[in-house]
Structure formats: structure tokens, C-alpha cells
Structure 1
Amino acid sequence: MRFLLLFLCLLGISCSGQKGVPKDKADGSMQNSKELQLVLVDNYSGVEDSEFQIVRDPKTLRNFFIQINKTRKPGLPIPEVDFSKELLLIYCAGTTLGVGGTELFVIEDYKDNIVVGPKERIPSGKEITNITTTPFSIYKMPLTPKEISFHKSD
């Protein structure tokens, strides 16, 4: 009798796990081009000037990681990306003081192009502010035929 009760409880728990997936997320794709999904962020890229890249192929991504992993042992792993469905946006903020960093967001989504730009993250009071860093962030978004442009706020 106990085994039957235990079996029914386990069956009920395992079946309820399938109900939690929202219908719009069930296919695993991002429908809205405004969605930028953070893939990786780090404080040391080695890129001294502000730089924005759109990565549409694995070779370009590999070259970027060769550059940022020059002084790392072990290096950061290259994220896996399905370039037939997604593209990557890489933003290197250049040399900055502190570890607050920046994040990318969509400023405007027009009919023929998407404008993205950085937004500074506000560091907490506990962070050390006399450290020079070269932060970068990598975001992925659905593949789009729209032109993607970068606008750095003044």
C-alpha cells in the first residue's frame, strides 16, 4: 500500500512539471526583436577604446575570444550560438574607472533598422572605484534582416 501511494505521489509531481511552460516561450525562440539576452559579461576585455560589433558567424566570434583570452589562463569559453537563428552583439566599453560597467538595450526598433545603445549600470557603494577595467558584454538576439546600428549616449 505504501509503495502504491509513493508511486502515485511521484507520478503527480512529475506530471505537474510539464504545465509551467508559457505558450509564448514554448518554442524556445524570441519573437520580439527588442529582446536582448545577456550571454556573457566581464570586466577585462583588453580593448582600450569603446567598440561595438555585430557577430553573425562563428569565425568572428572565435577571433574576438582569441583577443580577450590572450592574458587569461584558462580563457573564457566561447558560448555556443546557432547563427542560423541568432546573432550576437558585443559591446566593449573601453578603459573605465571602476567596475560598474554598462549594458546594452534597444533604443528604437524601426521598420528597417534597430538602434541599440549602452546604459551605465550604477555600481553599489561596496565596489572599489579606483580600478581601471575594460568591461565587455555579449548579448544575443534573434536573427533579423533589419540593419542594426549603435548609438552611444553623450
Structure 2
Amino acid sequence: MMKWFFLIVLVTLSSCRAQKEIKPMGKEIDGLELIEHQEMGPFLSFDTQVVRDVKSLRKIYTEINKTRKPGLPVPDVDFSKDMVVLVCLGEQKTQRNLLLSVLKESDDETVIAVESKEVKSAKTELSGSTTYPFYLYKLPIIDTSVSFQPIEE
């Protein structure tokens, strides 16, 4: 009995360590802050959006809150200093971690890598439910056009 207990503890500890060792593919984004993450959203396919004004952010939250009572509050963002990036993963069968990093910067374009890595744990493997996760990040304004490069494990 004790052998099984120690085996389960060992597997659990090693799986937790694996989750923390995610390294970005590109350069880390200074000032990147996750301001919202939900496993169930209205976005059915992979999509990314850059939001540079309050009106557009409210429009996104109107879509998010259509099926939520009470709805999620719209985050307070100072758009004179920051912008918001919305990343929707679409339909997912497993839990995933998301990591954003800058792949390429030039005078007219910034390419951001959207790395999606599967979280491997006993809890997620037993679940089997379908989710539609979305992530909302706040970051300092990027003056160039922004494009996204999806990268899956």
C-alpha cells in the first residue's frame, strides 16, 4: 500500500514540475499581463485580435456575456499606454497553457508567437470535456502592425 502511495506522490510532483518549465519560443514580452482567462467562451475557432480602444473591448465583452448571468465585468484598461490582445483557442479536448512571445520585430510589423502546450496531468486526462478557452492580455502599445503565429505542441 505504501509503495502505491509513494508512486502516486512521485508522479504528481514530477507532473507539476513539467508544467512550470515552459520556455517561450521568441523574446519575452515586457509588461505582458494576463487580465482574463476563461475555459468557456463564445469563440468556436482559433482567433486573435488586437484591441486598441474601449469601444472594441466592450463589444468583445458583450459577445462573451451573452450566455453569462451575471456577466463578466469589462476590465479597466488605459488605452493611452496599453493595448489588449484577445486569443481564442477554439474547441479544445485537453487543458492547455498559453504563452506569448515576440518572434520577429521590424519597423513595420511585429510577429507574436502564440504557443499552446497541452497540460499533462491525471486530472485533465480523466476530464474528457470540451472547452472553448479564451485569454485576454494587456501589454504596452506596439506601434507597428501586429500579426500572430500559432504554434502547437
- The TM-score, its normalising length taken from structure 1, stands at 0.71
1:146 pairs with 2:144: yes
Q: Tell me by how many angstroms 1:33 deviates.
A: 6.0
2-side partners of 1:35 and 1:109: how far apart? 16
Structure 1 unaligned segments of length 5 or more: list them: 1-31
Please name the residue that 1:3 is paired with. Answer: none
Contact 2:84 2:139 (8 Å CA) reproduced: yes
**Aligned in 2, Cα 1:33/1:146: closer, same or farther, shift over 3 Å?**
farther
1:94 pairs with 2:83: no
The one-letter code of the counterpart of 1:145 is: D
Contact 2:91 2:130 (8 Å CA) reproduced: yes
1:45 pairs with 2:41: yes
1:112 pairs with 2:132: no
2-side partners of 1:141 and 1:92: how far apart? 17
- Structure with the larger helix share: 2
The one-letter code of the counterpart of 1:112 is: D
Q: How does 1:56-135 map to 2 (within 5 A)?
A: 56-129=52-125, 130-135=128-133
Deviations 1:28-87 (A, max 9, x none): xxxx96542211111111111111100011111011111111111221111100111111
Deviations 1:83-124 (A, max 9, x none): 111110100011111222433222222333211121123314
Structure 2 unaligned segments of length 5 or more: list them: 1-27
Contact 1:99 1:123 (8 Å CA) reproduced: yes
Contact 1:34 1:109 (8 Å CA) reproduced: no
Contact 1:55 1:88 (8 Å CA) reproduced: yes
Contact 2:84 2:137 (8 Å CA) reproduced: yes
Contact 2:116 2:151 (8 Å CA) reproduced: no
- The TM-score, its normalising length taken from structure 2, stands at 0.71
**Aligned in 2, Cα 1:150/1:117: closer, same or farther, shift over 3 Å?**
same
* Count of matched residue positions in the alignment of Structure 1 and Structure 2: 123
RMSD: 2.0
Contact 1:93 1:102 (8 Å CA) reproduced: no
Q: Equivalent pairs: percent with the same residue?
A: 33
2-side partners of 1:82 and 1:76: how far apart? 19
